[in-house]
Amino acid sequence: MSEASFGDVTGEYLAIREAVGLVAGQHEAVRVHGPDAISFLQGLLSQDLAAPPGSVVRSLLLSPQGKLRALLWALIGAEELVLVTDAGAAETVRADLLRYRIRVDVEIELEERPVFELLGPLSAGVLKAAGQTAGTGWHKTADGWIAGAPLGGLDRFMFVGLDPAALVDLGALRCGYLATTAVRIEAGEPKMGEDVDESTIPQESGLVPDSVSFTKGCYLGQELVARIDSRGHVNRHLRGLVVGENVLPPSNAEIFAGDRAVGVVGSVAESLTLRAPVALALVRREIEPGDSIEIRWQGGSVHATVQTLPLDDFTVL
């Protein structure tokens, strides 16, 4: 995990929202390369990978039962893909892919170098000042790669191989976990292990429209995803919570509607824009946006309002 803060959480939050933050420790990567790389992953990942080299798409790695294993950004090359996933999940991705590597010409390797990101409306300008191209896809650099992977309505560029100190000299502010998490919650982007886990069905996460192809053919875990899309529903949905008091509830606190438990809190942070603590949570489908709920934990409780995601589209600074 990245540093909680570099000494000024408010300044870091505002840098991400209004300028550019430099973030480390939030993502990891796995490199899959070889003549069969595209066809191999096409049969495993939820998104259609038949895209031109240089494309970046969202995707999911699922279990055979159709539950989440990893949330991915897939960087597509001619005979390679870089799979960017949440911190702590890269080894899971690598191990799962190795399990299915049977009679295919593919190498699967962890990216040993740290994945950084520039996040905020001035991110592209900092990259250009560093002599780099800032586009919507991905490309290799002399020592690594850069990929455009927006966070909701904010520009975000993930990269490996650039000197972070040089980017700080060009105006990026180092930002820690607290500020980054606040913006991520506002954008409605779940994190594996905090907001969703291996018991989560893809449709519960809200990521299916951007991460799943229903026309590409078979992939690992497809049956459950297709069945729910065609004739089913899920019992939970990822929602935003806006807390009514200046109290940050702990992650994993239970959510109640009256005396009935209806969900569990995931990521929690302080939103300066909304002037309230905010959280992501998986809640029962009968709990609708606008409903008031109570968050309870040992030693405390607080009321909050359920909201649709994203909590903010970042169109107004």
183 Cβ partners below 8 Å, 6+ apart? Answer: 13, 16, 17, 119, 151, 154
Burial profile 128-161: b = 16 or more Cβ within 10 angstroms, e = fewer:
eebebebeebbeeeeebbbbbbbbbebbbbbbbe
15 φ, ψ (degrees, to nearest 5) = -60, -45
163 Cβ partners below 8 Å, 6+ apart? Answer: none
- Sign of the alpha-carbon torsion through 244, 199, 153, 164: positive
> Taking the model in full, what pTM does it have?
0.96
For residue 133, the model assigns a pLDDT of 92
| Angle 61-279-314 from CA coordinates, rounded to 5° | 85
Domain spanning 235-309 has what CATH number? 2.40.30.110
> From CA 225, how far away is CA 103, in angstroms rounded?
27
Q: Fold for 9-186, please state it.
A: Gyrase A; domain 2 (3.30.1360)
Place of tokens 């900092």: 126
Chunked into runs of 10 residues, the chain (317 residues) has average pLDDT values of 89 98 98 98 98 97 98 97 98 98 97 97 98 94 97 97 98 98 98 97 97 95 94 92 96 97 98 97 97 97 98 81
Parts of the chain belonging to CATH 2.40.30.110: 235-309
> From CA 148, how far away is CA 58, in angstroms rounded?
11
- Sign of the alpha-carbon torsion through 32, 57, 314, 308: negative
> From CA 190, how far away is CA 184, in angstroms rounded?
8
Which DSSP state fits 170?
T
Burial profile 36-63: b = 16 or more Cβ within 10 angstroms, e = fewer:
bbbebbbebbbbbbeeeebebbbbbbbe
Pick from 9, 289, 17: nearest CA to 153:
17
> From CA 156, how far away is CA 20, in angstroms rounded?
9
